[in-house]
Amino acid sequence: MVKPEVYRSLGLSDEEYKRIIDLLKREPSTTELAMFSVEWSEHCGYPRSRILLKLLPKKGKYPTLIGEDSGGIIVDDLAIIFKMESHNHPSQIEPKQGAATGIGGIIRDIFTAGARPIASLNSLRFGPLTEPYNRYLLRGVVDGIQFYGNCLGVPTVAGEIYFDESYNGNCLVNVMSIGVAKKDELARAFARGVGNSIMYVGSSTGRDGIGGCSVLASHEFKEGEEKRPTVQIGDPFTEKCLIEATLEALATGHVVGIKDMGAAGLTCSTSEMASVGNSGMEVELQLVPRREADMEPWEIMMSESQERMLVCVKKGKEKEIEKIFSKWDLHAVVIGKVTDDDIVRIKDKGKVVAEIKAHSLTQAPVYDMPYKKPAYLDDLNKLDITKISEPKDYNGVLLKLLGSPTISSKVWVYEQYDHMVQTNTVTLPGSDASVLRLKGTNKAIAATTDCNSRYCYLNPYKGAQIAVAEAARNLVCSGAEPAAVTDCLNFGNPERPDRFWQFKNCVEGVASACKFLNISVVSGNVSFYNESIKGVVNPTPTIGMIGIVDDAHQVCTQYFKKEKEIIILLGISKEELGGSEYLKEVHGQVKGDTPDLDLWLEQAVQRTALDAIRKGLVSSAHDCSEGGLAVALAECCISNKENMVGAVIDSLTFDARKDAALFGESQSRIVLSCSKKSVHKIRDIAERFGAPFQIIGRTGGKELEILVGKRKIINLSVEGMFERWIDSLQSLIMA
């Protein structure tokens, strides 16, 4: 009889242990118990989230591809494969290796689908940089991303970083990868064909990462816990070889299926490949390449050592596959075969140490979790705007916002990333979205990551909708039609009803916005238990979205290009301050409701901007987000260091307080600049789509001037704004 403390230490409940006995009709072995613990963990089996994930739309405006480990869309004869995942818990413990192995893992999900990785993105969350450990985490995570990505030769082209007290005990590291393949050359992650060989390829197996998904990623941090052994160690040079060897092996036509040994390692790859293929599998552990002596069978099955994959190879073709991987100095060893009994059979020195039906492992229990609206939310949503004093110094407010860590330039971060390797990058980091050319075509891909978690904290449903809308808006401002989504859903302990209520509402919000905009959700990840003794993270449903640029010559960027151009505002400025950066940074409050979101208005504004950009009428386009209209205008002036252009805003009309109009974060707003001769054409487009249109000023000079009536309430030099914006984050990091 297995003692309760044994299976509980692996993350299994008493009920789950009883269920295992019922399935096996006997007591489980230690190896079987380990295998169930990882496959039934939230990180692999999604037992607490699976019901709600079914709400996310799988079809959209582009033909959709849904794979085992990643997804994508079809554009002409190409498959664009992409996915986002989290590596939060490992990064909180060992930031460099946690972030590095996150990059390695997500990229393996792309090339095991048969696609060549062409870009990475990231979405990062940390506590305030006034705390030394948060500075250590940020420096370590950035170092890990640049170390792995730069060595690998995959450019890191875009991302975002937010700072909030809720991430003090649990940072978030969400990473995204994009790959491209011919649509008829994709691979699947299954094992089929009785007698076909199962080959282990890549690096050796060690004890690093044991229990990472069941122990580390499926429980919150508790005081005094030491979890460093569960953090994996990555080697980007090995992964680079693995990319080339894998794509070469797939091109032979001898590979039936292939899967990364990511979370849950060999357990995941054996059980899931067998389950998807409706087959069985027999493996001998003594054949597994190891770099550590005396490893127990359960350790081998749970290890999450990096840069390893499992391949199902046509019988008789093993030597050809072995030759390819050996050429790249990688292991390629036959360790088993496909069977017809639907059982995953694990042997060690010929002795059976685990014998489980594949579907029993992969079909984790599904829990209908209780949920309840947090008691504090009703009071938190109350904001009496009349009690918020209007600023006396609007210049000071704008400079303060430009210097806040969330808004200030992230140049210190992205200058450490190689964003030009592979020579696909059209739009460099620092604009609304990154753009990558599709070699051999006139088209390009735009990509972004977005989520304002403060909105999701105040109103999970609407905040999640806004995350989708803003991502789409960023793509549109780059000249791309929003195409499809991958998500990374970061939340606290799902066993607490208030946390699960946040999750439920966020998923419903993402689903509703994607359905309205006709955007499919092709892949994603759920990360629960993001909390510690310091508290729970804000609900953070990060949206990774790609869009398609029909003509790569029509890409648009956010900064003003020329003097004496007309500045247009699409959308409406409302009297909204709830959840804004202004309310938090200037007034020290996180209160109110999130900004309103009218999806019909959002769609009208996006269609207007995209049509105008595609017709060549627009010089620049930039969406209004954190910091509101004033920050958006400032960023238009200062985003291009080589050619900063000022602006005079003297025709702004609004039905709101001045601070709400300038610093409030009303949604569905885009700032355009264009030549005088293009104005009437853009106005006609706006009228056709029903988008509010307003000429608010003109470009030119060396200052940003914003007038209300005849009074200049903001009058700042572009040089002064740039210095505050460019230096603030680095000075905090290096403090």
Residues marked active site are found at: 43, 87
Cα–Cα distance measured from residue 300 to residue 206, given in angstroms and rounded to the nearest whole number: 8
Q: Is 687 helix (H, G, I), strand (E, B) or coil?
A: helix
Tokens of 559: 């900064």
CA 654 to chain CA centroid, Å, is 35
Beta bridge partners of 448: 545
Structure token pair of residue 381: 């949503």
User: Is 224 exposed, middle or buried (CB count within 10 Å of its CB: 0-12, 13-18, 19+)?
Assistant: exposed
Classified as helix, coil or strand, 269 is helix
727 CB neighbour count, 10 Å cutoff: 15
DSSP per-residue string spanning 501-548? HHHHHHHHHHHHHHHHHT-EEEEEEEE---EETTEEPPPEEEEEEEEE
CA distance 267 to 31: 10
Distance CA 137, CA 148 (A): 16
**Residue 559 contacts residue 470 (beta carbons within 8 Å):** no
**Strand-strand pairing, 78-86 and 71-75:** antiparallel
Determine contact, residues 398/634, Cβ cutoff 8 Å. Answer: yes
Q: Which phi and psi angles does 447 have, rounded to 5°?
A: -145, 145
Instruction: Give the three-state DSSP class for 372.
Output: coil
- The whole-angstrom separation of Cα 697 and Cα 699 is 7
Say if CB 191 and CB 273 are below 8 A apart: yes
Phi, psi of 257 (to 5 degrees): -160, 160
Report the distance separating Cα 627 and Cα 388, nearest Å: 16
Residue 325 CA: distances (Å) to CA of 248, 331, 335, 590: 9, 7, 15, 54
CA nearest neighbour of 636 among 531, 722, 516: 722
Asked whether 246 and 111 are in contact (CB, 8 A), the reply is yes
Cα(587)–Cα(93) distance, rounded to whole angstroms? 33
Angstrom distance (rounded) from CA 130 to CA 715: 30
Q: For residue 537, what is the DSSP state?
A: P
